[in-house]
Structure 1
Amino acid sequence: MTQISNKIYCDDFLLHVDMPTKLLPNPYHDLPFLVIKNFLSSENCEHICDAIQESNNACDAKIRKSSDLVLDEALKTDIRKTKIYDLETLYTNVYKSVFLEHKEEIEAFFSVVLTTSTQIQMLEYTKGSFYKAHSDDSNVLLKESEIVGFLPVAPQRKVTSVLFLTEHDETLTTPYSFSGGELVFNYLYDETQQNVKLSPQKGDMVLFLSNPFFTHEVLPVKEGYRLTLVQWHDAIVQ
């Protein structure tokens, strides 16, 4: 393993495979990803969840095929089992306003200048939902079942943001909570050599670079309700 921040290591093979979008944040950070606590208030999170419970505008999330504009029409539920909802204009505006308040902090952390962003995706995970390991900007290249590189299919994605509207709680003591469903970084390890596994709380935002160093998955939800707002951001690297 190779140390990439004060407390996190990556799988050594990443340093040697073909990765056109290779980029890492400042190695002197404790973590190579940024967690913004209480990005949205608990009240706002619950209001969005309430609205989604009454909504019927969901569609099944699909897999990116060859570019950010091309989706595989096959659902491929062995890879991804989630639903996408539209976010009401009121809360879209609230989200964008708060994001602007944190923009300078995000840019400083990743040493980038944020430019454009995608539309917000609201992703719902119910019992049994999951998303297997993937990179947000590239597809993996295999040769005889061995990873030999990564093919960029959405190179304009530089930074990924995930806002948790419900919280991880194995006891399910709050109305909008879930067990299982952790966010796992498949090639990142902590000081005990365990995969980095995040269980953020309601209102927390996690941001990380979109390239294959930060390949990640969502473990199957055991019980409860997992709702996140996901967005990808283009940027100029400083």
Structure 2
Amino acid sequence: MDEVQVVVAHSERATLRVGDVFLKVDADQARIDIEVEAMALAPVPTPEVLWRKPPVLAIAAVPGTTLGRLGGPSTGSPAAWAAAGAAIRKLHDAPLPRLSGRAGRDVDALAVELDAECEVLVASGLLPAELVTRNRQVAEAALRPWAPAFTHGDLQIAHVFVDGDEVTGVIDWSEAGRGDALYDLATFTLGHEEHLDDVLAGYGSDADVDPEVIHAWWSLRSLLAVRWLTEHGFDPFLPGCEVDVLRSRM
């Protein structure tokens, strides 16, 4: 019998692996609905949905391996990173999705959320004030109007699989919707700044990509993530993770 592997588990959701089957258990049925809808619409390889029985979604494993993980060494050739960039561009060029209950992010609301989180980070002593202040300044460049695109919404490096120089699957679509294309690019390259040029080479030189905005999203995403990660059993202070990303902006 195959071993049951806990891939991720916290109070909101858990993912288990049994052989080549992943079981996703989510307390929020809307997230599962969005994930299934998004995978059906996305013009890139996605996992096969095997069955659904709320609150569980069963999907098949995708072939290949990831290009690395946040806090770990990056793998893959420049061509593999470029192939990932090309797949991301294909997603962003697709027709805008109409996903159940998922509207685009509001810039003003995001700014309010960010400022409130920065206050908590400093007041709690979780991060030094100067580190928070500097990254809040960097993050400001992301808080501008953007043309909505079909975005993955949580395009961590561990969510993109490749085999050689070919993208074989993109997983975890529960945050998909209409968003800022540069947020996806920033999330994918978070902690792996050395591969940003490779990704952009595949994404296309004709795209309107401002590296300053990508840097801003690195800061913004990290500021919003640190406390949540700490409270849910993860460690953003590990080498190469979110706090190091914030320190790199100093």
Q: TM-score, normalised by structure 1?
A: 0.27
Q: Which has the higher strand share?
A: 1
Q: TM-score, normalised by structure 2?
A: 0.26
Q: Which has the higher helix share?
A: 2
Of structures 1 and 2, the one scoring higher in RCO (CA 8 A, sep 6+) is 1
